[in-house]
Amino acid sequence: MSTGLMSLELPEWAWQRAEVRKALRARDVGAVFRHVQQYAGASQARIATATGMTQARVNEIINGRREVSRLDVYERIADGLNMPDDARHLLGLAARREKRGGGRAFDLAAFPEVVRVYSEQASAAEEIRRRARTASELDVLAVRGLGLIGLNDSLLRGSVTRPDPPQVRVLLLDPEAPALAVRAAEIGESVESLASGVRLAEARLRELSDSGDVRVYRYRMLPTWRIIRLDSTLFVSAFDAGWEGHESATYKLMETPHGSLYRGFRRMFEAIVDDGVRTV
């Protein structure tokens, strides 16, 4: 683990540059390291020392031959590069003051329910599809859900149309709720287009309800979390201004005896279902 003596310092303005923030948001560690070389004049060996890696590993990451996926490695990189709190948040990490005060709460080994972090949904797609082929329960919390389940070529559609389909519950944003207009503005889309997407997803899911247990609900709050649950495995990402849920880092959570994250997201999903309006 890096120490204060080994850590690197970038100019404060460097963390505010658009290309650096884009790399952080995409969890593109190779690009982050290249920016560190550019703005701090650091060699691969110096980056390796700061982040607790070998120079060979840093070289592989910079040249796209290896990706970072473990939460503890992201934490070590953030510490070694002395990332300010806003940069850590873009990377999907807690602020430094939260991390220091949390003790083992931010040690991945203490919370084994967080088993993997993907840079975006596309990186997790293969595993999601594989788990969906045999899942008996499928829960989805989305905005319109077209990319997840609403269209023939969407991520989860094949699992719903298989001979032994799972029990399906889908939560979609109410097209008439004020929150939909807010979300449309956040992603630069018209209210009409976003609302039409929700209604199309409902119509396509209604087609499946005759041959399987498919239930669709509308919720009215501003979307924050995007959730896919396949039996005891959750894939969680976030909605934020300027990006869609599939562009966010995706956290894989497994149910464990004392895991608070998995339990919290399950409880939240059930509460939204209870408060929602069933349309299918």
Q: What are phi and psi of 250, to 5 degrees?
A: -115, 125
Q: Which two tokens stand for residue 26?
A: 């995409």
Q: How does pLDDT run across 20-36, given as a tens digit for each residue?
A: 989 998 889 999 999 99
**What pLDDT shows up at residue 4?**
43
Rounded to an integer, what distance in angstroms lies between the CA atom of residue 228 and that of residue 234? 6
pLDDT over threshold 50, residue 5? no
**Given 3.60.20.10, 2.40.50.100, 3.30.870.10, 3.30.428.10, which CATH number is that of 121-278?**
3.30.870.10
From the CB of residue 257, how many other CB atoms can be counted at a distance below 10 Å?
Answer: 5
Q: How does pLDDT run across 198-216, given as a tens digit for each residue?
A: 999 999 999 988 888 999 9
pLDDT over threshold 50, residue 109? no
12-109 — its CATH code?
1.10.260.40
Please give the residue that has the higher pLDDT: either 267 or 245: 267
Least Cα distance to 92 among 67, 119, 127 occurs for 119
Where are the domains positioned within the chain?
12-109, 121-278
Which residues sit opposite 235 in a β-bridge?
228, 252
pLDDT over threshold 90, residue 8? no
pLDDT band at 271 (very low <50, low <70, confident <90, very high): very high
Residue 71: C-alpha distances to residues 57, 77, 92, 206 (Å): 17, 10, 9, 39
- Confidence (pTM): 0.62
Name which of 82-91, 161-170, 200-209, 225-234 the model is least confident about: 82-91
Mean pLDDT estimate for the chain: 87
Q: Is 121-278 in the same CATH topology as 12-109?
A: no
